[in-house]
Structure 1
Amino acid sequence: MKEAVGEKIVMLNTMFLQTSITHLFILLFILPTISTAYFSDFDIKDCDYGEGNYIKGSQYHQNLELLLKNLSNSNLDLPEKGYFEDKQGSFNGSNQVFGHAMCRGDVQLPEDCRRCLKHIKTEIGKLCPNKKNAAVLYDHCFLRYSNQNFFGKPSGTEQSVNFTATIPEKEREEFVKVRSNLFSKLLKYATNGSSSPSFFANDKSKVSSNLTVYGLLQCTKDLSKEDCHACLKSEIEKFPVFGAYRTGMMSLGRSCFIRYQNHLFYQENNPQPPPPIPPERSKGNAKGKIIGIAVGVGLFLVSMMFLLWFWRNKKNRQKWRRMKLLNVSIPTRHNMSGDSQNDGIKIAGIEHLSLKYFDLDKATDHFSKKNIIGRGGFGYVYKGIQNEQEIAVKKLSSKDSLQVAGQLDKEVTLLAGLKHVNLVRLIGYCIEKNEMLLVYEYMPNGSLETYLFEPNSDKKVLDWSSRLNIIEGIVKGIQYLHEDSRLKILHRDLKPENILLDEDLTPKITDFGISKSSDVNQTRGSVTTNIIGTGGYMAPEYRFNGQFTTKSDIYSLGVMLLEILTSIRWFMHNNNPQIPNLRSYMSSGWKDATLEQKLAKIECESYTKAQEKTFKNILDIAMLCIENDQDQRPKISDIRESIKLSNDSSFKKRHMTPIVKSCSQAEEKIDESTSQKATSETLRNLQSIQISREMNDDTLR
């Protein structure tokens, strides 16, 4: 009898152990899949911020492999601290590699961090093959390497993801207030030196019984406290423009990271499953076998608890839709070669445009402050004289040399192949003595923006004929970019500031640093996470979803047309989160205003009957251009056909009797009160709610 019972116990024990082992094997297969999904809700590549490719097997490649190997070296303390920094290669050598990696502050150390980084290490070579500068950004960890030392140098956000879903209207005001207060608190905590891990904070705030905001932010640990604060603050300030009333937003940068959501997306301090209680020892053989059964059952239960924990994390992250975000780059990349300390680096294929730093330094009087004529997102512009010719020299900032090198390469590559009277002409470039310079033809009348919005400047007021000629020139230039050039170009940053005027007030489009060549289907368009430009001129599909086509430029053109004819800063209204749709906002009062009330008030300037018809036509076209639905916007060729002003001689007949006088003649005085009564309440409302000039600080570069 005892033997029978013993056999049954052995069989039962064996069965439980086999079951436990089976489940453990299943768990081993499932866990990698679950953990991969866990840390790779997003795998966003950033391969185009620097220049140059390495050759497989080269010294640079070997140094890179050593750096990546160190990343997963079990002797290093990365997983315990969540941050890794290394460099390989001889000091100041051309094959030196710098790299760092970091896990998000809520990721459990060391194992979750180790798994994420092990995966990202294998993926970066596939996503950015043979790139000397590359980064892969996951939601839970990231890795970046470069052939230039970037440690301690902040680099702003390059990737943004915005939700299309919005907060219910009745909760929006409170939502914006709570979100702002939450991130103010997170920013203070992450940068006051008390956070753990450093430069990291996450928390939640309740908006209502049905709505909670969850927020998280973090900087790379190579930054100073001040640089971290500045990086995060600049991203938080974009919430009113890019986040607005969205249910969530994420910005993944090379130096800082922010995210908010209306559901839990980060790991709270979940307690680890308790270890199995060790059973007491027993003398009996049967008790020993029962202990074996208990151990088997315990292992099975612990395994199932781990499985449940990972499954819950995966389920939470399924609420955030998985996105494989595309990035379209210029089809032809030019390798740079040469000695920057002697003859300077030359871009292959356009070596003839390479200029000497010594000559440009002399032409600008050693880049004297008195010769500064402008400032852009990448540096200052200086006036110079070379060979008795006036030139404009853009000196690119070296704060983020990888980014500006990419901008220089792109702009030189594009402009060298573009020739049109309404595009600024590139004279040359210089990459020498750690300086990067672009040289253009000089535009004596500066930018269109100063003529439209700076009445106190010393520039003359644009008359109606000049404004119409400028409109025609801009349209011609865009048509060349979209349809007539060898490479079809999407500018992506059209605005009055990027329209320069020569001595005859001929408009010329400039600043191609963020342009894209459209080698893809233009109707379907492309998607990017590198959303940069000027918020108020961005089409909604580009601004909020990263989608850009030629119709995105058409939207920017529409805002410009309105600004040229009205001298109202409509882009500021378009930057206001309270106004989600510029066209709808304008339509409420626009239709009730007369043409005279809509147009800019130009002192002592009149327009003809023919011009009046054209003004109405252009304003109608502008309203079509700013349609929220991009399919409703006209093509540039259709716009060009509608306003061929140069073929209409009536615009040049200044002797024609004007139908409107914008100022009083000597024999008929109009007092101020009468003039005010003539202005409709609608137009005053439109102009009175203009957003202050300080919103220029929200312009996104």
Structure 2
Amino acid sequence: MLPLAKSSEGAQWALQHLLCFFCSILLSLATLTLSQLDPTYFLRDCSETSGNYTANSTYEANLNTIISRFSTLREFNYGFFNLSAGESPDQVHSIALCRGDMNQADCNTCLSYTATELKRVCPFNKAATAWSELCLVRYANRDLYGRLENDPRACAYNTMNVSNPDQFNRTLSDLLVDLSSEAATSGPLRKYAAGNALAGSGNPGRVYATVQCTPDMDQQNCTTCLQYARDELQNCCYGRIGCRVLRPNCVLRFESNLFYNQTAVPLPSPPPSPTPSPTPNRGNENKATRAVMFVIALLLCWIC
């Protein structure tokens, strides 16, 4: 009987190790899946000049209120949101923007992730900004709406170089100027433009680009912001195969591959022009006047 007992213990030991092995595989797969769900790009700036809040404070509660709203937004608003929560001096303001080709579900997912991650990596900072793969999120203890700001800003580029930098950059510059003009004049709902151009016979053969302003910028401020972005691009991305210039009020990106959706959620049609009032037919009026005068003349002749 003793050998049987030892055999049973060995089988139990083997079974336990087998279960542990399968658990470790499942855990690895779960971890991999979760990591794949995260956006592939995230850059943040934690403001050190706007002060800090304390844990469990009213300010943090207001910030949490805004963050929680991002996952449940019912109004798409073409990917732009201006939110606030609370009252002064603990009021929190937020500006959020999704890339112009995003639908509502992808936009909400990006904003929720980015805002949550921003609070985690900037603990207790009253103001912070984050740019992720598909959206921009800012929050602060001051109103952000309609304010053209120069900071924070960043430039991130692909380390690979193009084979024909001069020709490539001439083509890119012309493309970005055209797209910037299109975005700036796109109206108050969405200031976004995307396009591509043939970059020559070298590598890459074609360049793809997007530019976008937050819609609270008027045409002049959007133009100015994108001009600053193009200037910065020349300084940090010359000859690179891809680059992002990230600013508080606008973003600019180019790549050697198609990275955006070629169709975006359509904007509403403009209201029809008012129908002009019918213009009186002066010819008919003149004819009627002449007829009346003729009748009067006949009567006068008859009387005479």
Task: Give the drift of 1:63.
Answer: 1.4
What does 1:445-460 align with in structure 2 at a 5 Å threshold? Answer: none
Is 1:83 aligned to residue 80 of structure 2? yes
Match for residue 94 of structure 2? Answer: 99
1:179 to 172, 185, 193: 172
Aligned residue runs from structure 1 range 357-368, under 5 A: none
Q: How many residues align?
A: 232
> Which ranges of structure 1 fall in alignment gaps of 5 or more residues?
1-27, 271-701
What letter is aligned with 2:81? Answer: F
SS of match in other structure, 1:237? helix
Match of 2:222? 228
Structure 2 gap segments, 5+ residues each: 1-29, 265-304
Residues 71 and 84, structure 1, Cα contact 8 Å, conserved in 2: no
1:165 and 2:160 are equivalent in the alignment: yes
Equivalent residue of 1:152, what SS? coil
Relative to structure 1, is the Cα distance of residues 194 and 94 closer, same or farther in structure 2, using a 3 angstrom cutoff?
Answer: closer
Q: What's the C-alpha RMSD, in Å, of the aligned pairs?
A: 2.4
SS in 1 for 2:215: coil
Poorly superposed stretches of 4+, deviation over 4 Å: 28-35
Q: Deviations over 1:215-262 (max 9, x none)?
A: 111111222221111000111123332222121221111111011122
CA distance in 2, matches of 1:84, 1:143: 9
What is the letter of the counterpart of residue 82 of structure 2? E
- Equivalent residue of 2:89, what SS? coil
Which residue is equivalent to 1:207?
A: 199
Give the CA deviation at 1:30.
8.4
**Paired letter, 2:261:** Q
- 1:192: which partner in 2? 185
SS at match of 1:45: strand
Q: Please state whether the residue corresponding to 1:200 is helix, strand or coil.
A: strand
TM-fit CA distance, 1:200? 0.6
Query: How far apart, in 1, do the equivalents of 2:37 and 2:106 lie?
Result: 8
Confirm or deny that 1:149 pairs with 2:143: yes
Inter-CA distance 73–193: structure 2 relative to 1 (3 Å threshold): same
Render the CA deviation track for 1:52-97: whole Å, top value 9, x for unaligned. Answer: 11111211112112222222234x314x52111111222xx21111
Answer whether contact 1:50 1:132 (CA < 8 A) is retained.
no
Query: C-alpha distance in 2, partners of 1:244/1:47?
Result: 28
Partners of 2:168 and 2:222 lie apart in 1 by 26
Amino acid at match of 1:45: R
SS at match of 1:267: coil
Are 1:167 and 1:245, in contact at CA under 8 Å, matched by a contact in 2?
A: yes
2:194 counterpart letter in structure 1: N
1:129 pairs, out of 102, 123, 126, with 123
**2:147 & 2:48 partners in 1: Cα distance?**
14
Aligned AA (1:244): Y
Following superposition, the deviation at residue 49 of structure 1 comes to 5.3
Query: In 2, distance between residues paired with 1:220 and 1:50?
Result: 23
Greater relative contact order (CA < 8 Å, ≥ 6 in sequence): 2
1:42 Cα deviation from its structure 2 partner = 1.6
1:393 is aligned to none
Query: TM-score if structure 2 supplies the norm length?
Result: 0.70
Letter in 1 for 2:97: M
Amino acid at match of 1:121: A
Local SS of the residue matching 2:90: coil
Residue 153 of structure 1 aligns to a residue whose secondary structure is coil
Distance 1:125 1:59 in 2: 15
SS in 2 for 1:165: coil
Q: Is the 8 A contact 1:99 1:145 kept in 2?
A: yes
Change (3 A) 1:225 1:206: same
Distance 2:244 2:54 in 1: 35
Asked if 1 retains the 8 angstrom alpha-carbon contact of 2:71 and 2:109, the reply is no
Equivalent residue for 2:278?
none
1: CA distance, partners of 2:129 / 2:236: 23
Tell me, yes or no, if the aligned pair for 2:155 and 2:233 is still in contact at 8 Å.
no
1:164 deviates by 2.6
Cα distance in 1, alignment partners of residues 121 and 128 from structure 2: 9
- Tell me if the contact between 2:232 and 2:245 (Cα under 8 Å) persists in the aligned partners: no
Q: Please point out which of 255, 261, 267 is paired with 2:255.
A: 261
Shift of 1:204: 0.6
For 2:72, the equivalent position in structure 1 comes to 73
1:538-558: per-residue Cα shift (whole Å, max 9, x none)? xxxxxxxxxxxxxxxxxxxxx
Alignment-mate amino acid for residue 173 of structure 2: S
TM superposition shift of 1:34: 4.2
